Amino acid sequence: MSVAATALDELQIDALREVANIGAGHAVTSLSALTDRDFRMSVPSFGVVALHEFAAVVGHMEEVAAAVYMPVEGDVSGHVAFLFPFDCACRLCDVILCREPGDTQRLDEMECSVLAETGNILISSFLNAIADMSDLRLPSAPPGIAVDMAGAILASIAAASPSLGDHALTIMTRLADREQPIEGVFVFIPEPESLGTLLRAIGLER
């Protein structure tokens, strides 16, 4: 059953936000364990964003960002991505590679591979949490990585959806480390035909 993102009621939006909240909570726990730092997350913001405004949701479109993206193809299909501003991605590499703060200045093959693997772990935690809760399968394809303009990255992810409507449902969570600012955004875009499946699985049949 395909559900238009614009047709969701408040209860359903709350439920989806809670699903994302639990998923992101697991991802943050993984990241904290991986880096031995104390990452916190915001309450997920939930938006039905018109396509022409879509790429601006992360802030400045031309700001350089690093993103790890994994398409999800199972009972629920969609797109999950982790975006970090460039300087935050460098700081994350410092932490994971046990470098001195400020050592990572470029995101070359080594750093990209570290970010891809980190993203893979976080996104898998996110998806596993949702799968456990809903009893649905959410297998993901291997991660892709990009370092480019934030707007171009988000637009490319949106365009990867074959059934992309004029609006995209996006659930975003910000995470930040308290000691040193490492901030990232978690973006989850379920395919329209998966929204109904997800809502049914969590007991909110339409």
Partner 1 sequence: MGQAIMVGMAELRVTRGSGDVLVALGLGSCIGVCAYDAMAGVAGMAHVVLPASVEGAGEAPGKYADTAVPALFAAMKKAGASPSHMLIAIAGGAQLFQFGGQVARLDIGRRNAAAVLQALRVQSARLIAEDVGGTVGRTVSLRCADGAVVVKTLGQGERELATLVSARRAELARAA
> Percentages helix, strand, coil for the chain, rounded to the nearest 5?
45, 25, 30
Which range touches partner 1 (CB under 8 A), out of 7-15, 126-134, 142-150, 190-198? Answer: 142-150
Site track 9-48 with partner 1 (rule: CB under 8 A), x = hit: ----------------------------------------
- Of 4, 33, 43, 159, the one binding partner 1 (CB under 8 A) is 159
Report the alpha-carbon distance of residue 115 to residue 108 in Å, rounded: 10
* SS3 at position 189: strand
- Of 31, 150, 182, 185, the one binding partner 1 (CB under 8 A) is 150
Q: Does 7 bind partner 1 (CB under 8 A)?
A: no
- Of 39, 46, 69, 186, the one binding partner 1 (CB under 8 A) is 69
Q: Does 62 bind partner 1 (CB under 8 A)?
A: yes
Q: Does 139 bind partner 1 (CB under 8 A)?
A: no
CA nearest 48: which of 205, 190, 202, 196?
Answer: 190
| 8-state DSSP, 136 | -
Report the alpha-carbon distance of residue 190 to residue 33 in Å, rounded: 27
Sign, Cα dihedral of 187, 85, 58, 17:
positive
Which range touches partner 1 (CB under 8 A), out of 1-9, 16-24, 125-133, 161-169? Answer: 161-169
